[in-house]
Amino acid sequence: MPKLLSLIISLTFGLTSIIAQSPPQSDSRMYDIIDAVSAERIQGDIEKLVSFGTRHTLSDTVSNERGIGAARRWIKSEFESISESCDNCLEVKYHKGLVKEGESRRIPTETWIVNVLAIKRGSQFPNRYIIMSGDIDSRVSNPLDGESDSPGANDNASGMAGVIEAARVLSKYDFPCSIIFAGLSGEEQGLFGGKFLAADAKDAGWDIIGVLNNDMIGNIHGIDGVIDNTSFRIFSEPMPPNSSEQALIWNRFYGGETDGPSRQLARYVDKMTSQYCTNLKGTMIYRLDRFGRGGHHRPFNDEGFPGIRIMETHENYTMQHQDIRTENGIAYGDVIEGVDFDYAAKLTGVNAICLAGLAWAPKQPAFVMIGGAVKPSTKLKWDPVDDENIHGYKVYWRNTTSPQWEFSKWVGKNTDVTLKNIIIDNYLFGVASVNSQGNESVVVYPKTLIPRR
Ligand SMILES: [Zn+2]
């Protein structure tokens, strides 16, 4: 028996010397993060945002009681008080851009678009960012009406409150990468706050892992009559809009038309939801946004950054962009009665674990190459990740018609992998990097062929 035991030990050690031990399948901190999100605090924040009467981009900026100026000052002060309670762990600031007269039909006079940012600076990679965004501004029927009551309780005080709550919860943790909690403005007038921030991020050379844009995360009573608090939608574009002709040729012959960076981010959010969230299902929608409609992730996509929209499954159009009124017995208006705070808290929890997971995860593998045509096995190769948090890599594959990664293999620190008897023709492949606690990067889809010798 002792001989057998020593044989087992030597075999085990022999193996671990080749392949580092696989990390844990889950990170228990994720459950703590979800539990820490408070529906009561989210309700309080939505009530506060609604109390400013209107947050229209063209509304009063001077009053401390009414208008978008009062709203953004309150958001900034809220971030500052969160920061005070975590030993000044957040950099809180305004971020501005000017829309000049005549630049937009929806902004008739020169107007400052003012975002509010709270940055939890990464300890090791301060320039690598994961962003959660919501919107400050609201609107009613006439997009130019900056005077009428425009509570915007669901659109988008719900998203803004989610961002503030995620900042509260994640301020208790430290991360190697930076997290930005962003209140964006000018969304309803033409996505201006996002455009200004995305352009400045590009100029400053920010390495953006992804943008989780939250726009309407509180409605569970759909116009379709369905009441559902157990699902939400994740919108993502298939490929970046600025994809090169070469990328299109690659897609045609090697695949990848449903594997752009934003789509991989959507898969990440969907996977995290399945893994950690009880009684909540992410539904990936394979398009940029709702049919012909827009959101604040788009300007980031336009600049080449991955970004997705997170929102309720069932919208109620009588409660969006409407003057508050009753017509033919139907009550119109985006009032607070239309928001389910527990549901908004659930979706905030999804955001928080994805922010944490990505801010803890190592850098993505780069220069991922693939090969194996007319061979019995598929080969993948990539550059080792230069990040001390790397514990190893996971290779993923799925059937070509499957929306989500179906199969995976832990390969330790190997960066040259053969998947035996997996025929390249029948699957799509990707690689993620993993830290010692099991936190994974977004999957990278290969874009180069392994050179033949
Ligand atoms: Zn809207």
Q: All domains of the chain, ordered by start, with CATH?
A: 29-360 (3.40.630.10), 366-449 (2.60.40.10)
State in Å: Cα 35 to ligand 1 middle.
29
C-alpha 115 chain-centroid distance: 18
Q: How far is the CA of 354 from the centre of ligand 1 (A)?
A: 24
Ligand 1 centre distance from Cα of residue 320 (Å): 7
pLDDT of 21 reads 86
With contact defined as beta carbons under 8 Å apart, do 241 and 360 qualify?
no
Distance 189 CA to ligand 1 centre (A): 9
Task: State the distance from the centre of ligand 1 to the C-alpha of 137, rounded, in angstroms.
Answer: 9
What is the Å distance from ligand 1's center to 150 Cα?
A: 11
Q: What is the pLDDT of residues 150-177, one digit of tens each?
A: 999 999 999 999 999 999 999 999 999 9
Q: Ligand 1 mean position to 188 CA, how many Å? A: 6
State the SS3 of the chain.
CHHHHHHHHHHHHHHHHHCCCCCCCCCCHHHHHHHHCCHHHHHHHHHHHHCCCECCCCCCCCCCCCCHHHHHHHHHHHHHHHHHCCCCCEEEEEEEEEECCCCECCECCCEEEEEEEEEECCCCEEEEEEEEEEECCCCCCCCCCCCCCECCHHHHHHHHHHHHHHHHHHCCCCCCEEEEEEEECCCCCCCHHHHHHHHHHHHCCCEEEEEEEECCCCCCECCCCCECCCEEEEECCCCCCCCCHHHHHHHHHHCCCCCCHHHHHHHHHHHHHHHHCCCCEEEEECCCCCCCCCCCCHHHHHCCCCEEEEEECCCCHHHCCCCCEEECCEEECCCHHHCCHHHHHHHHHHHHHHHHHHHHCCCCCEEEEEECCCCCCEEEEEECCCCCCCCEEEEEEEECCCCCCCEEEEEECCCEEEECCCCHHHEEEEEEEECCCCCECCCECCCEECCCC
Using omega within 30 degrees of 0 as the cis cutoff, is the peptide bond preceding 214 cis? no
Compute, in angstroms, the gap from residue 333 CA to the centroid of ligand 1: 12
Q: What are phi and psi of 97, to 5 degrees?
A: -150, 150
User: How much distance in Å is there from the Cα of 138 to the middle of ligand 1?
Assistant: 7
Nearest to 94 by CA among 122, 75, 120: 75
pTM above 0.85, yes or no: yes
Q: What separation in Å is there between the alpha carbon of 152 and the centre of ligand 1?
A: 8
Q: How far is the CA of 437 from the centre of ligand 1 (A)?
A: 39
Question: How many whole angstroms from 106 Cα to the centroid of ligand 1?
Answer: 14
In angstroms, what is the span from residue 258 Cα to ligand 1's centroid?
A: 27
**What is the Å distance from ligand 1's center to 356 Cα?**
27
Residues with CB under 5 A from ligand 1 (ion): 155
For residue 154, the CA-to-ligand 1 centroid distance in Å is 9
Ligand 1 midpoint to CA 310 (Å): 14
Using the mean position of ligand 1's atoms as its centre, give its distance from the Cα of residue 110 in Å: 22
**242 Cα–ligand 1 center, Å:** 26
Which residue numbers in the chain have pLDDT < 50?
1, 10, 13-14, 16-17
- Encode pLDDT of 427-444 as tens digits: 999 999 999 999 999 999
Q: How many other β-carbons are positioned within 10 Å of the β-carbon of residue 349? A: 26
CA of 329 to the centre of ligand 1 (A): 24
CA of 387 to the centre of ligand 1 (A): 40
Distance, CA 334 to ligand 1 centroid (Å)? 10
Give 430 Cα–ligand 1 centroid separation in angstroms: 35
